[in-house]
Amino acid sequence: MNASEEAYLSLEEPPRSDHLWRYTPWKRVHPTGDPSEIPDEISTPQIGLSTINGGEASGISIEMGNAISIPFEGSPVSNSFLSALTDGKAIRISIPDNWRSENPLILDVKPTGGLDAIHIHVETGKFSEATILTRVQGSSKWLGILRTGQTGVGSFLQDVFVNKAHDGNLMRVDALRLGRDSSVTAGTVSAGSTWTKADIRYHLDSPGSNLNVLGSLLSADQMHLDHHIEISHIAPNTYSRLGWHTACGGNSTSVGTGMLRIEKGARQADAGQLFHNLLLSEKAKANSIPELEVEENDVVGCGHGTANGPVDEDQRFYLMARGLSEQEAEDALVAAFLNSTLSQMGNEDVHAWLIDAVEDALVGLNT
Amino acid sequence: MSDNQPVLSIKDLHVGIEGNEILHGINLDIARGEIHAIMGRNGSGKTTAASTIMGHPDYEISSGKISLDGEDLLELEAWERARKGVFLSFQYPQAVPGLQVGHFLRKSVASIRGEDSAKGPVFREALKSAMEEVSIPRSFLSRYVNDGFSGGEKKRFEILQLMLLKPKLAILDETDSGLDIDGIRVVSRGINAAIRGSDSGALIITHYSRILEHVKPDYVHVLIEGKIVKSGGPELALELEERGYEWLESGNNGGE
């Protein structure tokens, strides 16, 4: 039994009173439904790295089987469980110092269709500029994906996670540390998996780091999406924004919980969070709970908000007055709602690629 | 359809909202190529009239008729009316963050004038020409609909749509409000380009006569408390500018 397995098995099942597990209990996320079990039959999904044009990702190093620990403390249950499933080993993607490319990178993750788990670790070099679009697609019964990383001094990273798995459950844990004066745009585009439980955390523990977290999520049919986003401002002069848009249709449930933490010493931190849910059917449910913990008095700003509602009738009338039928107007407004965050995730090429990736899922929202 | 049939005909129209009647029997005919102006104070029912013609679902029509080229509009939804040829330039155009102007224009033109009108060099040329006419730069095409637009930009964008959609009936609801003199001149140029010399009819709704100096109406109607109390030629607008509305209000002698 490895250390992660031991660590996991020593833990109690987290209670529903825990902020992280309030809406999606661990038992429901666990691949077998029995929290006392660590399944043996775990496969590693196939991965591939290319450029958006289908070319080779030159200059990027990929190493398999590295022993990499999670860069900071998170949920003990999720972290130890995924570490146990991946045997503490990660695929390490390293972007060299000063590396720049016009072509975004596509990291394809293709599950085997059974129980899969993978740990992907990304390190960006000093003053590098990279866009990585991680795409999960194909059929999956259960996929656990642990994504860790560290950005280099003065680097720019656009990191977009696109879930297009046809079905199954996704358990995702992200832990990213931002280096000094580095800038990260972190996008989540969710248009797949029947159940999703994501625990996404960022540590701004170097001065001058800058984070923009964006979500464009489509929740349709019987889907259950639960995303927890935790942003910790630890160093002075750090900046973060979160814009999280979920379009909720069918009989689906979506949950967005935010934790914005300004620690003592994070002077001049500037942070804001906004969750926005568009309710497209009477049966769709959406819960957004942003929370703040502010321990520093000297902050530029720290705010949070949430908005839930149906399609705006004035906007709908405006589009109908321009010849769009009621359904066309609604479709256009849903697409616009998701696009307003999607379009901030990268340049025009990335935007076009993302639109293409979610277009078919938009049709499914009407069901 | 006979040649002398009005493009818009309103007969004894009574309209309310949440049980309160606002329009108390409006009658109005607009012939092809004619520009009519409705003037009135705030709250007189001007926007109610415009919204009702466009088919806003909040307005309840208790009696009366509205027809376009002889076809009853009241059974049609707003999008069907738009496709039949009704255009409303909104007093307060809606912002739609995330919906790009270029995409929206193509979609709207395709819906109203057909797919072929929304693609290829013909569309591009029409778009370029209309944008120049109302002084809208190309960079607008990648912005989001009315999102972050100034008041003047919103009004110019409405007129750009008017020029591209080529409606049978254009209703311009206080298109001049919030514009400075240069702004009024620019939108007026667009309105004239879209309406003058065409078969379209237009209904300009305004408080002030200034826009009517640039877009000459054939007829002016005064709306007070939900009724057209006086109609006349363009000289009536000037008279209103000088005398205000008081002389036409109930109890005074000027009303019809």
Which pair of structure tokens corresponds to residue B94? 């809606």
Tens digit of each residue's pLDDT (9 = 90 or more) over B98-153 = 999 999 999 999 999 999 999 999 999 999 999 999 999 999 999 999 999 999 99
Please give the average per-residue pLDDT across B158-168, as a whole number: 96
- Provide CATH code, domain B8-94+168-248: 3.40.50.300
Q: Report how far residue B239's alpha carbon sits from residue B91's, in angstroms, rounded to the nearest whole number.
A: 25
Length of chain B: 256
Domain extents in chain B: 8-94+168-248
- Give the model's confidence band at A290: pLDDT under 50 very low, under 70 low, under 90 confident, else very high: very high
**Inter-chain CB proximity A312 and B112 less than 8 Å:** no
Q: What is the pLDDT of residue B230?
A: 95
- Give the model's confidence band at B1: pLDDT under 50 very low, under 70 low, under 90 confident, else very high: very low
Tell me the residues of A at the B interface, defined by beta carbons under 8 Å apart: 312, 314-315, 317-326, 328-329, 332-333, 335-340, 342-343
Please give the average per-residue pLDDT across B220-226, as a whole number: 96
**Inter-chain CB proximity A321 and B78 less than 8 Å:** yes
C-alpha closest to that of A202 among A173, A181, A224: A173
**Inter-chain CB proximity B77 and A343 less than 8 Å:** no
Tens digit of each residue's pLDDT (9 = 90 or more) over A204-257 = 999 999 999 999 999 989 999 999 999 999 999 999 999 999 999 999 999 999
Place of tokens 């597990």: A21
Q: Looking at B112-166, which runs of residues are DSSP E strands?
A: 144-145
A-to-B residue pairs, Cβ atoms closer than 8 angstroms: 76
Which pair of structure tokens corresponds to residue A16? 């529903």
Is residue B253 pLDDT above 80, yes or no? no
CB A256 within 8 A of CB A229: yes
If residue B198 lies in a helix (H) or strand (E), which one and from where to where? Answer: none
Q: In a mutagenesis test of the A interface, which of B56, B81, B96, B158 is the best target, namely the one with the most A β-carbons within 10 Å? A: B96
**Inter-chain CB proximity A323 and B93 less than 8 Å:** no
Q: What percent of chain A has pLDDT over 90?
A: 81
Which pair of structure tokens corresponds to residue A337? 């709602």
Spell out the residues 6+ positions from residue B98 whose beta carbon is closer than 8 angstroms to its own: A335, A336, A337, A338, A339, A340, A342, A343, B144
Distance from CA of B79 to the nearest CA of A (A): 4
**Of A314, A321, A343, Cβ closest to residue B54:** A321
Is residue A39 pLDDT above 80, yes or no? yes
Q: What is the pLDDT of residue B197?
A: 82
Return left, alpha or beta for A140; rule: phi > 0 is left, psi -120 to 50 is alpha, else beta.
Answer: beta
Is residue A344 pLDDT above 50, yes or no? yes
Smallest CA–CA distance from B114 into chain A, residue: A323
CB B29 within 8 A of CB B9: yes
Q: Report how far residue A124's alpha carbon sits from residue A128's, in angstroms, rounded to the nearest whole number.
A: 7
Strand partners, A35: none
Tens digit of each residue's pLDDT (9 = 90 or more) over A118-145 = 999 999 999 999 999 999 998 889 999 9
- Give the model's confidence band at B255: pLDDT under 50 very low, under 70 low, under 90 confident, else very high: very low
Question: Taking the CA of residue A213 as centre, how many other CA atoms within 13 Å lie in the half-sphere pointing to its CB?
Answer: 28
Spell out the residues 6+ positions from residue A6 whose beta carbon is closer than 8 angstroms to its own: none
The DSSP annotation for A120-144 comes to EEEEE-TT-EEEEEEEEEE--SEEE
**Inter-chain CB proximity A322 and B108 less than 8 Å:** yes
Which pair of structure tokens corresponds to residue A78? 């999720």
pTM (two decimals): 0.92
**Of B56, B87, B99, Cβ closest to residue A317:** B56
| 47-86 in chain B: CB under 8 A from chain A | 54-57, 77-79, 82-83
Inform me whether the C-beta atom of residue B17 falls under 8 Å from chain A C-beta atoms. no
Q: What is the pLDDT of residue B77?
A: 97
C-alpha closest to that of A187 among A72, A357, A60, A346: A346
Q: What is the pLDDT of residue A54?
A: 86
Q: Which residues of A touch B87 (CB under 8 A)?
A: 321
CB A75 within 8 A of CB A103: no
Is residue B251 pLDDT above 80, yes or no? no
Distance from CA of A343 to the nearest CA of B (A): 8
Q: Which residues of A touch B108 (CB under 8 A)?
A: 322-324
